[in-house]
Every structure is written in structure tokens, then in C-alpha cells.
């Protein structure tokens, strides 16, 4: 009987040791970020079949490590390092995200190696892509993109699109999953605005080839809140979690939320707002002076 107990205890210790090793190794491994294209889907519809060749984006950041996004000064469950490192070079991550987004938008996306039959060519650079995790998370993305006619080489559109935001992680704090999702959604905002401008440029050169569609169709399994206030720049809290200042767009799972608005010199306002799957809910509040 003692032998059996001893054996079981030894097995338990081995399993516990293996689990701890896996946990700590996982904490130190680079963060895997899966780009979610549905959040970057532009509200357009193609009337013609176009092929776009995506040239690998260049990393023009000052950061020496091509996989580093920033520093970690506040605890993140599942990450045991002081630097935020992703599993793929930032420029490669951006390039692959653009390819995925073009495909979802209806284009035939391919690399430059097979671009002989391409209608358009996309190239650009990553000027900024950082995320510092601290008492307040700070993300900044700036991507420069150029659209060319693949046959003539003429530039049809060129521009920089940026996203800069600060947020509190909330009462539950950050995890590997929430950080990865935050990176993906922030990049999706930049790509969505870029593709909207790209589609507009294509429509000018090839009229009737692109048309806008209702955004509600493409939001996937979540819903979207667009919140504004008079005066603007009111603090927005969703179920007591701070999200930012008005006007603001927030993607949330379907449900009913308590949305609070706070601003110095004005009375607090709280409203129950329903978020519906695949739909945009707009809400505007006029704050009363104290």
C-alpha cells in the first residue's frame, strides 16, 4: 500500500514539474498573433475580378529587433518577459495581413513572384508599430502604402494611415490572448482605412467596378458601438471598464451593457445599450452641466 502511494506521489510530482516547465516556457515564448480579417473588412463590393500583387512591406521603424513591439512594465498573464516580442517579423505580419484582407474583400491576392497577370500592385512600409504594456496600454501603428497599376506602373494612390490609442486593461488585467487580440484589431483599423482609400482610387480609374456595401453585413460574430457626446472627449466606461474618449468605436460581443459617460464639470450619464451581432449601434449623449 505504501509502495502504491509513493508511486502515485512520484507520478504526480513528475506531472506537476512537466506542467510548470511548459507554463514557464510558454511565458517566455514569442506571442503568436492571429490576424482577424473580419475586423478590417472594408465596406466595399467588387463588381469585377481583380488580381493584386502585394510586395513585402519594409520595416522602417527605429526598433532594432524586427519582432519587437514594445516593453512590458505591468503584469501580463502568460508572459514572463519585459519585452513584447511576436512570433513573426512585424513587416511580414503586416504583409500577410494585407494579403488576407485583400482576399476577404474579393481580390485575388498574390505575391510579387507570380504577379505577371496582376491588375494592381501594392507596396509600402511600416513606419510605426509599437505596443507598450503598462498601467495604461499604448499602441501606435503607421503604415505607408502605394497602389500602382501593375501594367503601366502608374501610381493610383499613395498615403499613410495611422492608429494611435491608449487604454486601460480593465479589472481582469491583460493576458496573452487579450494582448494578441488588441494588436490584431488595431492593425485591422489601419488596413480597413487603407483598403477603403485603395478601393476609391480603383473606382476612379475603373468606374462601376467597386461599390459600397452596408457595414453591418461584415462584422462577424460581434457587434459595434459608435459612441459620441456633446461636448466631445467624454470618458467612456463599458461595465465599469474604461475604453477611451468620445467619439469612439468599440467592438463587443452581443449583449446588453451599462455604458457610462464622465466629464469634469458635467453630470455623469449612464445608459443601457444593446449590442447586436453583426450590427452597428450608434448612441449620442448630451451631457448636462453640474
The grid cell for 161 is 494611415
pLDDT digit string (tens) for the chain, length 290 residues? 444 555 655 554 554 454 444 444 445 689 999 998 877 877 677 778 899 999 999 999 998 999 999 999 999 888 889 999 999 999 999 999 999 999 888 888 888 766 678 999 999 999 999 999 998 899 999 999 999 999 999 999 999 999 998 888 765 678 888 899 899 999 999 998 999 899 889 988 888 788 765 544 445 667 888 898 888 999 999 998 899 999 898 988 888 889 999 999 999 999 888 888 777 888 888 899 98
284 neighbors 236 (Cβ within 8 angstroms): no
Domains and CATH numbers, the chain: 24-212 (3.40.50.10610), 219-286 (2.60.40.1120)
The grid cell for 211 is 461599390
Cα–Cα distance measured from residue 10 to residue 221, given in angstroms and rounded to the nearest whole number: 46
* Report field, pTM of the whole predicted structure over 0.75: no
Residue 54's beta-bridge partner residues? 111, 122
Amino acid at each position: 500500500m505504501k509502495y502504491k502511494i509513493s508511486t502515485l506521489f512520484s507520478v504526480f510530482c513528475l506531472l506537476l514539474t512537466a506542467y510548470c516547465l511548459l507554463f514557464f516556457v510558454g511565458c517566455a515564448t514569442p506571442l503568436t498573433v492571429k490576424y482577424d480579417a473580419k475586423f478590417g473588412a472594408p465596406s466595399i463590393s467588387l463588381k469585377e475580378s481583380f488580381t493584386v500583387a502585394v510586395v513585402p512591406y519594409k520595416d522602417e521603424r527605429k526598433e532594432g529587433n524586427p519582432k519587437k513591439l514594445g516593453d512590458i512594465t505591468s503584469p501580463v498573464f502568460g508572459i514572463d518577459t519585459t519585452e513584447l516580442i511576436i512570433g513573426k517579423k512585424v513587416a511580414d505580419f503586416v504583409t500577410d495581413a494585407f494579403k488576407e484582407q485583400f482576399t476577404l474583400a474579393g481580390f485575388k491576392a498574390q505575391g510579387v513572384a507570380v504577379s505577371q497577370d496582376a491588375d494592381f500592385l501594392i507596396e509600402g512600409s511600416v513606419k510605426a508599430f509599437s505596443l507598450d504594456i503598462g498601467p495604461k496600454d499604448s499602441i501606435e501603428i503607421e503604415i505607408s502604402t502605394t497602389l500602382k497599376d501593375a501594367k503601366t506602373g502608374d501610381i493610383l494612390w499613395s498615403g499613410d494611415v495611422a492608429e494611435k490609442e491608449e487604454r486601460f486593461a480593465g479589472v481582469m488585467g491583460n493576458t496573452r490572448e487579450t494582448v494578441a487580440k488588441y494588436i490584431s484589431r488595431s492593425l485591422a483599423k489601419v488596413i480597413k482605412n487603407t483598403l477603403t482609400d485603395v478601393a476609391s482610387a480603383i473606382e476612379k480609374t475603373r468606374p462601376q467596378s467597386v461599390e459600397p456595401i452596408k457595414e453591418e453585413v461584415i462584422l462577424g460574430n460581434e457587434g459595434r458601438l459608435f459612441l459620441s457626446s456633446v461636448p466631445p472627449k467624454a470618458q467612456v466606461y463599458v461595465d465599469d471598464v474604461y475604453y477611451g474618449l468620445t467619439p469612439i468605436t468599440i467592438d463587443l460581443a452581443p449583449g446588453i451593457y451599462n455604458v457610462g459617460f464622465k466629464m469634469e464639470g458635467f453630470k455623469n450619464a449612464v445608459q443601457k445599450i444593446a449590442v447586436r451581432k453583426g450590427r452597428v449601434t450608434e448612441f449620442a449623449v448630451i451631457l448636462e452641466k453640474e
